[in-house]
Amino acid sequence: MQRLQDKAAIITGGTTGLGFETARRFVAEGARVIITGTSEERLKAAAADLGSDVHWLVADVRRSGDLDRLAAFAGETFGSVDVVFANAGVGKFAPLEAVDEAFFDEQFDTNVKGLFFTVQKLLPLIANGSSIILNASAVNAKGVATGSVYFATKAAVRSLARTLAAELGPRSIRVNALSPGYVPTKFFARTGLPDEVRQGFETMIETGTPLGRVGRPDEIASAAVFLASDESSYVNAVDLVVDGGWMNI
């Protein structure tokens, strides 16, 4: 039997990278899926690739009205929801003195505010015993120069996994953080880091990771399937770090 058979799932930021690969795996495991993103063109292309069990909606998690539309669409499409993967996020790097309010607000509005209100707006649809997965990052417990804003947003996400798990526990709703290590995707092309700096960071990860390599999107998707499935029924409030051991060595 497929591990997510008949489950209804929502994945924000599902058109590329980790969100798209997770949507692919969810469908393969029997789930019905809604993906969101800010580009209708990318959403149509992703849905066409993923198949008929995938629905899509243009929605920006920074906008309350868009999240209201997502909740209404999910209610009309599924009735109730079994899995929420709050995945939409941005990451940009800059020296402290170069950070302005727009730079700060974009990341906190997407990674923290948007994630929080995604869960809040969908909560009336989330069935008892369901799984909420918050996409954090292995850097939530790390410090690297020029990453102050991005890293702080991911530390906040890790904290939300704890507090929301405590609050939703009486409904047997599990809330866990999923923290990928360095996985080369289009996400890193939008960080603002020059190519040579990104390459240097990748080399640092490879040499500092016991497995001696960076991660793959399918490895993160596998962890998301586990957290979404009943196999993790007693896993709650954890930070599942999938980084080849980088953070723990």
Per-residue pLDDT, 188: 62
Per-residue pLDDT, 142: 84
The yes or no reply on domain 8-248 and CATH 3.40.1350.10 is no
* Residues 23-47: tens digit of each pLDDT: 999 999 999 999 999 999 999 999 9
> Model-level pTM?
0.95
Active-site annotation holder among 56, 150, 151, 201: 150
* Residues 170-229: tens digit of each pLDDT: 999 999 999 999 998 877 666 666 777 778 778 888 888 999 999 999 999 999 999 999
* Residues 65-118: tens digit of each pLDDT: 999 999 999 999 999 999 999 999 999 999 999 999 999 999 999 999 999 999
| Structural domain boundaries in the chain | 8-248
How far is the C-alpha of 184 from the C-alpha of 176, rounded, in Å? 23
State the virtual CA torsion across 208, 156, 82, 169 in degrees, nearest 10: 110
**Cβ neighbours of residue 73 closer than 8 Å, sequence gap 6 or more:** 34, 55, 57
Per-residue pLDDT, 234: 98
* Average of per-residue pLDDT across 9-29: 98
**Does residue 182 have an active-site annotation?**
no
- Helix runs in the chain, H state only: 17-28, 40-50, 64-78, 101-108, 115-122, 148-168, 195-208, 217-228
* Residues 130-170: tens digit of each pLDDT: 999 999 999 998 888 889 999 999 999 999 999 999 999 99
How far is the C-alpha of 232 from the C-alpha of 238, rounded, in Å? 11
Per-residue pLDDT, 199: 81
Whether residue 249 has pLDDT greater than 90: no
